[in-house]
Structure 1
Amino acid sequence: MTSAPGENDVRLRMMLGAALKAPEWPGGFSMRTLQASDAPALHALWQTAFDDFDQPLDEWWRWLSGDEEFDPALCFLVFDRDGRLAGAAQCWTSAFIKDLAVHPDFRGRGIAEALLRQVFSAFRARGAAHVDLKTNLVDSAAAVRLYRKLGMVEVGWAG
């Protein structure tokens, strides 16, 4: 599910027992789940967002779509009115957010918060008690502030 923790890495958890706020998509943006034809755009977003993402598209898609925890219904994509991929959250069926990113051109508009709220709602509807993710306290400090603002708390690596 996730690689071994590195320096400053933490596992954060959102408990899904309390009332959850519904996602609010910024004006001009819409969300839908992944279709196979979205793979190139999602791959390009990951390349833009993550310094260590260098897998070729075909290799990455075979790996992702062949993973037993992959479900395209748990990959949420946000597009602007011109059809550009603005952000995405890709989750494993084990209630784990594998990747979440907003393209630099679209940051600061509430897309990441809406994506997280979408993820929380989707897993709650599936009966999950919580949702986890791995992040880095230093490299992803702004993201960590958002995660904590939404109620995520640090838990041990074993879960």
Structure 2
Amino acid sequence: MPEPRPPAPDDIRLRKILDDTLIAPRWPDGFLMRTFEHTDAQALHALLTEVFEEGKDAPFDAWWPGLSGDAEFDPELCFLVIDGKGLLAGAALCWTSAFVKDLVVHPEARGRGIGEALMRQAFAAFAARGAGHVDLKTNTLDNAAAVRLYERLGMKPVAWEG
């Protein structure tokens, strides 16, 4: 995995131990999950830049080669949620080292359980690959709602270095 940047104030690393208590994802009515295809790159970039402040200045032509060329990128570990109109409603972009790089849900699709289902999908995928745990980094102030979700899913703080 690429070395993460040094933590910012209030950044934490959370871990989910993958054991026999995992619960399968439940997708809300009208939404389906599939893995990433090359033609999804523009929509994924647009969703990430719409929701995250970080990376707003990264144009697609710089972002995509960096992502797709990363040794940790595997399209099978990029889970997309599509709404009834065929639009990207959410995504979990994971590195092969069992690290959730980005979890994003479009503001209009929030409150339906998409984020929880995406995380459960990531847990199941990494368990199937033999991983013992899944990690992610978040900020306790900027992402308080996400922290509550991660804690509800059984994720616990670990040392920054993992």
Instruction: Confirm or deny that 1:7 pairs with 2:9.
Output: yes
Instruction: Confirm or deny that 1:131 pairs with 2:134.
Output: yes
Alignment-derived partner of residue 34 in structure 1: 36
Alignment-derived partner of residue 153 in structure 2: 150
State the secondary structure of the residue aligned to 1:39. helix
State the secondary structure of the residue aligned to 1:78. strand
Instruction: Confirm or deny that 1:110 pairs with 2:113.
Output: yes
Q: 1:43 is matched with which residue: 38, 42, 45? A: 45
Residue-pair matches, total: 159
- CA distance in 2 between partners of 1:67 and 1:152 (Å): 26
> What is the CA-CA distance between 1:108 and the residue it aligns to?
0.3
- CA distance in 2 between partners of 1:61 and 1:47 (Å): 13
State the secondary structure of the residue aligned to 2:127. helix
- CA distance in 2 between partners of 1:37 and 1:149 (Å): 34
> What is the CA-CA distance between 1:60 and the residue it aligns to?
0.6
Where does structure 1 lack aligned partners over 5 or more consecutive residues? none
> What is the CA-CA distance between 1:18 and the residue it aligns to?
3.1
Alignment-derived partner of residue 82 in structure 2: 79
Calculate the aligned-residue CA RMSD, in Å.
Answer: 0.7
Where does structure 2 lack aligned partners over 5 or more consecutive residues? none
TM-score scaled by length of structure 2: 0.96
